[in-house]
Amino acid sequence: MRGTALAVTLLLLVSLLPLAAAQEVKGPAAERVIFRGLGSQDIAEQEIRAGNIDLFFYNLKSEAARALRARGDLTLIEVPSSTVSIVLNPAPAPAGELNPFSIREVRYAMQYVIDREAVATRFYGGLAMPMYTHVSPTDLDYLTVRDVIVSRNIRYDPEYAKEIVSNAMRKVGAELRDGVWHYNGRPVTVRVIIRPEDERREIGLAFASELRRLGFNVEEILLEFGPAIQRVYSTDPRAFAWHAYTEGWARGGIERYDSTGINQFCAPWLGNMPGWREVGFWQYENPELDTLGQRIFRGEFRDLAERNELYRRMTALCLDESVRVWVVTVINAFPASKSVRNLITDLVAGVRSPFSLREAYVEGRDTLRVGHLWVDTERTTWNPVGGFGDVYSVDIWRYVVDPGLARDPVSGKTIPFRSSFSVETAGPTGSLQVPADAVIWDASTGSWRRVSPGTTARSKVTFDMSLYIGKPWHHGRPITWADVLYPIYQAFEISYNPDKNRIETAIAVTSRPYLETVKGIRIVGDRYLEVYVDYWHFEQDKIAEYAAIGFPSMPWEVLAAMDELVFARRRAAYSDTSAMRFNVPWLNLVKELHGRMLVEVLRDFSERGFVPRGVFELDGRSIVTPEEAKSRYEAAIRWFSERRHLVISNGPFVLERFDGAAQTAELRAFRDQAYPFSKGSFSGLARRVELPTASAGRLQVVIGSASSLSVRVTGPEGVTADAFLYDRSTGTTVKAVRDVRVTGGLLTVELTPQETSALRRGLLTLEVVLRDEQNLGVVRPFAFSVEVLPAGAQTAVTTATPTTQTTTPTVTGEAPQG
């Protein structure tokens, strides 16, 4: 229903904006950070002990992590920060051939050939948790979809999988000869791409072995990061360079009320399903998943209950489709020297937080030395439009740039970083009038036009840009409103200019569903940006996060030169697929050759006195003069001549040097007195966090008798528990207790004689999920075995003891001081 509603305004009082202080040191705590690629996880510990690095930004292998935890002489940050899945290629084969994964039933059968418990215990030594959907067991949304997961009774059952596969293959005309499936007289072959660098090697080999048992001819192809990514994500699925691939995903942080992950891993529209939305490629299509996903993404629900129902429906459909088969959430272990101080860590991302290195330092030294698996790879690409798609670039970039907003590393709530904000919303069904002087970019006219009369939006977010405007870029020029307008213009122009979206098709088609909800922007005075969006959420900080469209990460002149190179001169491309399609380089700002091409453009701009037409013209006047533009071009050219790259940003560190061949990158502290943050600005986030834990003694119930199951809960006050007693063999829930406020440190699940009478002798599982949604952005799942005894039996009297089945270790928000 559209109409007028009372607008509710939320002024967020939480702020990280620092108070000025005399003698404060601008920028980060360390003077320099040196990143070095080690090329192997296996040498990280010895490199720390030798003093060559202070911490390692890539997880250790599980065996090394367990040994290091036992010794205890190094800091070990353990967080559930990565996941493993197997993506299947569902493209139909050419006439006369057969791709078994084009058959939905065969894909679904793959859920039953992965022994997730064995992977977690044997391959990862307990430092992993079985995972059945895109939702990790530690995510807040785990409780939203848990019933969907349990009702499917997904388990390791290769005989059941074989039955499904056999029925599906025979239905399409395949024949099993000598244990191998044949189609049109030829064996059915699948190519499995396996990453050999970590435990995914064992996962991939085990999966390949199960496929052989099902009757498929299997070609195992072991490829490291760059070649594997190229083969899977940059090729048309119909080329069948791959049929299955062992994916690994680094989790960027805590996710409250997920809207992007479910779309990324299930819905074709966002461009992360086979076909990747690249023009000319075969595309996996599923309109129902797209519709559900976009409703979740765009806040098209009335309340939490409707959102959760949409989320459950989409998760169930995603499981039915099984284009991705999830394996485990990995407890990553990041080692560090005990000499590292004030290392801020995230409960999910660990050291991969935008806060981590801002306050970190080593006593008595001005340099922090960070090891990584790699600094540069074949797929590492620094460009803010179609790059930054790997952890190696992003893990450095996040300390070169300042975001406008961030997520609290413990609660996961969206908080101001470089911009505070207020939210005004008309709620899920109301509307706000968009002011007549608000504007939107019109690609058809190449200009900012005022919004049409009567334009409405569900929410308005006002961002305070005063910590951007007038503050310096790394090359010394001040950030202006032109730097805010250009990336907004660029997003709309690529998506709606037909000449440009034919070149960068994947970027355009995946951006439009979001841009369609941006109804207008307005600059108010010299410090405020208003953004009007057709979006609503029951947590209003999520509305601000959704509307965050104008935060500048690079100067407008660099973006303009990139646009010229990509769209006018056609000498580079923003995305990897466009680069391959047009046989041009994938634009990478840390490569000297690419920088030289951009400098040519900048020199041409300077000589012509060029100002991008229409981009900076508001109300009939340009906010950029030719003289100002020329000074910008010259500053960027000088930057390149000094550093041989064009990564210019606004964060706490300057990218001083990047040497891909040597696997090194050097960051230098940005000490400009106009930079808004100082040493200590974020030290309040380096706090210890006590996570709740559960333990139990011997748990038993007697058939036909009232029984009590008691679990001891320790940790902070105010913990809420959900408990589920269920039969793993059937997926049947015996008893569910929800939203119990734990008091006195004890959670008790009571069963009536009627409930126990329906049981049979054997073992049940009691799963207890602890949460504190206001203060913690994760849940803590624990599993206990429950013995079902015959009628009349006596139960053992035991006291609660620490369980060995805790699925996540205790994590602190600060590395212990040495």
Task: Give tens-digit pLDDT for 354-367.
Answer: 999 999 999 999 99
pLDDT over 80 (residue 16): no
Sign, CA dihedral 448-453-459-461, equals: positive
CA separation for the pair 134, 251 (Å, rounded) = 11
Please give the single-letter amino acid code of residue 448.
W
Percent of the chain with pLDDT over 90: 90
Q: What is the pLDDT of residue 160?
A: 98
Q: Under a CB-based contact definition with an 8 Å cutoff, are residues 98 and 172 in contact?
A: yes
Higher pLDDT, 423 or 24: 423
In terms of Cα–Cα distance, which of 746, 712, 697, 715 is closest to 811? 715
Q: What is the pLDDT of residue 796?
A: 67
Strand spans (E) along 447-537: 447-450, 456-457, 459-464, 518-524, 528-533
Q: What is the pLDDT of residue 729?
A: 84
Determine the length of the chain.
818
Structure tokens at 363: 């006593």
Q: Under a CB-based contact definition with an 8 Å cutoff, are residues 570 and 582 in contact?
A: yes
Strand spans (E) along 261-336: 324-336
CA separation for the pair 526, 434 (Å, rounded) = 20
Q: What is the pLDDT of residue 23?
A: 61
* Minimum mean pLDDT range among 16-20, 163-167, 586-590: 16-20
Task: Give tens-digit pLDDT for 543-554.
Answer: 999 999 989 999
Q: What is the pLDDT of residue 9?
A: 28
Residues 6 or more apart whose Cβ sits within 8 Å of residue 733: 147, 150, 724, 725, 726
Q: What is the pLDDT of residue 792?
A: 83
In the block, which residue shows the tokens 């974020």? 682
In the block, which residue shows the tokens 């991302």? 349
Q: What is the pLDDT of residue 728?
A: 86
CA separation for the pair 131, 142 (Å, rounded) = 10
pLDDT over 70 (residue 572): yes
In the block, which residue shows the tokens 């503050």? 471
Q: What is the pLDDT of residue 818?
A: 27
Mean pLDDT of 211-235: 96
In terms of Cα–Cα distance, which of 598, 599, 626, 623 is closest to 610? 626
pLDDT over 50 (residue 583): yes
Torsion of CA 415, 684, 692, 265, to 10 degrees: 40
For CATH 2.60.40.1930, list the domain ranges present in the chain. Answer: 693-789
In the block, which residue shows the tokens 């139990």? 696
Task: Give tens-digit pLDDT for 741-757.
Answer: 998 899 999 999 999 99
Q: What is the pLDDT of residue 675?
A: 98
pLDDT over 60 (residue 804): no
What is the architecture, at CATH level 2, of domain 81-251+322-329?
Roll (3.10)
In terms of Cα–Cα distance, which of 804, 811, 3, 737 is closest to 333? 811
pLDDT over 90 (residue 798): no
Mean pLDDT of 555-568: 99
Task: Give tens-digit pLDDT for 304-344.
Answer: 999 999 999 999 999 999 999 999 999 999 999 999 999 99
* Average pLDDT over the chain, rounded to an integer: 93
Mean pLDDT of 109-133: 97
Residues 6 or more apart whose Cβ sits within 8 Å of residue 4: 426, 430, 431
What is the pTM (predicted TM-score) of this model? Answer: 0.91
Task: Give tens-digit pLDDT for 669-717.
Answer: 999 999 999 999 999 998 778 899 999 999 999 999 999 999 999 988 8
pLDDT over 90 (residue 159): yes
Task: Give tens-digit pLDDT for 383-416.
Answer: 999 999 999 999 999 999 999 999 999 999 999 9
For CATH 3.10.105.10, list the domain ranges present in the chain. Answer: 81-251+322-329
CA separation for the pair 610, 599 (Å, rounded) = 14
Q: Under a CB-based contact definition with an 8 Å cutoff, are residues 714 and 745 in contact?
A: yes
Residue 371's DSSP bridge partners are: 36, 56
Q: What is the 3-state secondary structure (H, E, C) of 587-625?
A: CCCCCHHHHHHHHHHHHHHHHHCCCCCCCCEECCEECCC
Task: Give tens-digit pLDDT for 53-74.
Answer: 999 999 999 999 999 999 999 9
Q: What is the pLDDT of residue 414?
A: 96
pLDDT over 90 (residue 481): yes
CA separation for the pair 515, 517 (Å, rounded) = 5
CA separation for the pair 216, 222 (Å, rounded) = 18
* Minimum mean pLDDT range among 100-104, 185-189, 254-258, 814-818: 814-818
693-789 topology per CATH: Immunoglobulin-like (2.60.40)
Sheet containing strand 746-751, edge to edge, reads 693-695, 707-714, 746-751
Task: Give tens-digit pLDDT for 448-475.
Answer: 999 999 999 999 999 999 999 999 999 9
Torsion of CA 657, 660, 664, 668, to 10 degrees: 20
In terms of Cα–Cα distance, which of 577, 575, 637 is closest to 606? 637
Residue 429: how many CB atoms within 10 A of its CB?
Answer: 12
Exposure on the CB side of residue 239, measured as CA atoms within 13 A: 12
* Minimum mean pLDDT range among 20-24, 88-92, 415-419: 20-24
**How much is the CA Rg of the chain, to the nearest whole Å?**
28
Residue 784's DSSP bridge partners are: 766
Residue 586 three-state SS: strand
Mean pLDDT of 148-167: 96
Q: Under a CB-based contact definition with an 8 Å cutoff, are residues 586 and 387 in contact?
A: yes
Q: What is the pLDDT of residue 22?
A: 42
Q: What is the pLDDT of residue 162?
A: 98
Q: Under a CB-based contact definition with an 8 Å cutoff, are residues 505 and 277 in contact?
A: yes
Percent of the chain with pLDDT over 70: 94
Q: What is the pLDDT of residue 619?
A: 87
Task: Mark residue 322 as left, alpha or beta (left: phi above 0; alpha: psi -120 to 50; beta: remaining).
Answer: left
